[in-house]
Structure 1
Amino acid sequence: MKTIRVVAAVIRSEDKIFATARGYGEFKGQWEFPGGKIEPEETPQEALVREIQEELDVKVEVGDLIDTIEYDYPSFHLSMDCFWCNVTEGEIKLKEAEDARWLSKDELYSVDWLPADMGLIEKLGGVFG
């Protein structure tokens, strides 16, 4: 099975985290943390800075690794490095997502998360809020 390596940003502002709904593809409308594929010769942190700039038109500071989520989708294996991030420059603009929300700890389960991201939500419950 093919492995796809991606990064995800858990952008935090006060007591909320930022989530987006996919605007395209097989999982359109389902919720995820913004991010994307790691290109050859890129570190996960470099990939995250680039992806967030492309998707949200902001600069982020990449903080600590929260976890690496491993998840088997039907046609590929996903390996997702998830980092705490802070917006350091700009206002968030949705360039690819169809919707976005700032979610408090009590609202984490109010959206339809992608399965891999759900694994991260379960881990965040104990360290967020």
Structure 2
Amino acid sequence: MLPIIVTAAILREGETVLITRRPLQSKHGGLWEFPGGKLDPNETPQEGLRRELREELGIDSEVGDIFEVVYFRYPQTPVLILAYECRHLDGVIQNIEVSEHRWVPVTELHRYDILPADAPIIARLQR
């Protein structure tokens, strides 16, 4: 089975990084993750990530270099996560398609119930 390609944003503010919580009614509801999501047809990963940040959080962003690539197999389907360094350009962060967001010190990410697929990204951030 081919993996679903998803993107994730590494948005930093000082020593903190932005994580978002999935709405309870969604798949993996209540878990925390790095913002991002699935690509639409004919969309580059960078375009998709910018779109997802607008849809989920109401912000415009600049997508920079790739930070990490993660392959993870959930019981239903495998995912390939392309995590990019991003910079918040404009807009106030809103909880549009997420239940909440937090700026969390990298050293405290382990205290959150985060999607298992995001664990390698956290490990890289903490190195």
TM-score by length of 1: 0.93
Deviation, 1:89, is 0.4
- Equivalent pairs counted in the alignment come to 126
SS at structure 2 position matched to 1:48:
helix
Structure 2: runs of 5+ lacking an equivalent: none
Partners of 2:83 and 2:45 lie apart in 1 by 9
Partners of 1:26 and 1:9 lie apart in 2 by 19
The 10-residue stretch of structure 1 (18-27 or 71-80) with the greater mean CA deviation from structure 2: 18-27
- Residues 1:114 and 2:115 aligned together: yes
Tell me the residue number matched to 1:32: 33
SS at structure 1 position matched to 2:97:
coil
Deviations along 1:9-49, one digit per CA (max 9) or x if unpaired, are 01111111000110132310101001011112111101000
Structure 1: runs of 5+ lacking an equivalent: none
Partners of 1:50 and 1:85 lie apart in 2 by 13
Query: Contact 1:7/1:38 (CA < 8 Å) preserved in 2?
Result: yes
Mapping of 1:71-90 within 5 angstroms? 71-90=72-91
Partners of 2:106 and 2:42 lie apart in 1 by 36
Q: CA RMSD in A?
A: 1.0
Query: Which runs of structure 1 show a deviation greater than 6 angstroms over 4 or more consecutive aligned residues?
Result: none
Deviations along 1:77-116, one digit per CA (max 9) or x if unpaired, are 0001000111100110011111211011221111001010
* Aligned amino acid, residue 12 of structure 2: R
Tell me the residue number matched to 1:51: 52
Identity %: 39
SS at structure 2 position matched to 1:124:
helix
Partners of 1:75 and 1:106 lie apart in 2 by 31
TM-score by length of 2: 0.95
Partners of 1:32 and 1:71 lie apart in 2 by 14
Tell me the residue number matched to 1:20: 20
Query: Contact 1:34/1:52 (CA < 8 Å) preserved in 2?
Result: yes
Query: Contact 1:16/1:103 (CA < 8 Å) preserved in 2?
Result: yes
Query: Contact 2:8/2:34 (CA < 8 Å) preserved in 1?
Result: yes
